[in-house]
Structure 1
């Protein structure tokens, strides 16, 4: 059985030799819940690492070893976040052509409105 979109789910962990793991499921089983929890944990850790990286870089006093470790950890976290994004994106339903026309119409209306107002950033 595959997910509601008829696709296999890319799991947030790798198999032997670093190869991707996939799950054919309706999204309600034990492995799906385990994958959801692991994704949540990985995203939380990536957020914490991002904050730590900002603190380390803001101090402007670090050793070569600290920067190397930070880069390794950031690369691993980015890889996890990318895998989650790919997995979730693949499970999104494909919009119907009518839905795409509606999105295009909304984007055109937003552009018209944006051009009549100055940009404000807070």
Structure 2
């Protein structure tokens, strides 16, 4: 019996550990939910990037605004890297 590879999901367990999905159906309900979460994380990252660029372009932006923008950008980068790792395991041609 050929086992399907585990899919890294874009969320952690309540204990902070990675969650994986074992299925041979990429169209399953849980796979679809994971796809939606990944897309939402990317979309949120795009919005945060736009806001951070606006803060950086504003010469009058104070330290609080810059720190807030950096904090949100760091969170979004972490999410984007998680999505990249999730998708890496599903890349065509991977063994």
Mapped partners of 1:60, 1:66: distance in 2: 11
The structure with the largest alpha-carbon Rg is 1
- Residue 47 (structure 2) pairs with residue 48 (structure 1): yes
Structure with the bigger percentage of helix? 1
- Aligned partner of 1:21 in structure 2 is 19
Structure 2: gaps of 5 or more residues: none
Give the TM-score of the pair, scaled to structure 2. 0.85
Mapped partners of 2:30, 2:46: distance in 1: 24
Structure 1: gaps of 5 or more residues: 97-122
Mapped partners of 2:67, 2:12: distance in 1: 24
- Residue 2 (structure 2) pairs with residue 7 (structure 1): no
Mapped partners of 1:73, 1:34: distance in 2: 24
Listed one character per residue, the Cα deviations across residues 2-61 of structure 1 (whole Å, up to 9, x for unaligned) are 6xxx32111111111321111112212111111111111110110111111111100122
Give the TM-score of the pair, scaled to structure 1. 0.68
Cα RMSD (Å) of the superposition?
A: 2.0
- Aligned partner of 2:85 in structure 1 is 86
Runs of 4+ in 1 over 4 A off after TM superposition: none
The Cα of 1:93 is off from its aligned counterpart by 3.1
Mapped partners of 2:94, 2:67: distance in 1: 43
The alignment of Structure 1 onto Structure 2 pairs a total of residues equal to 93
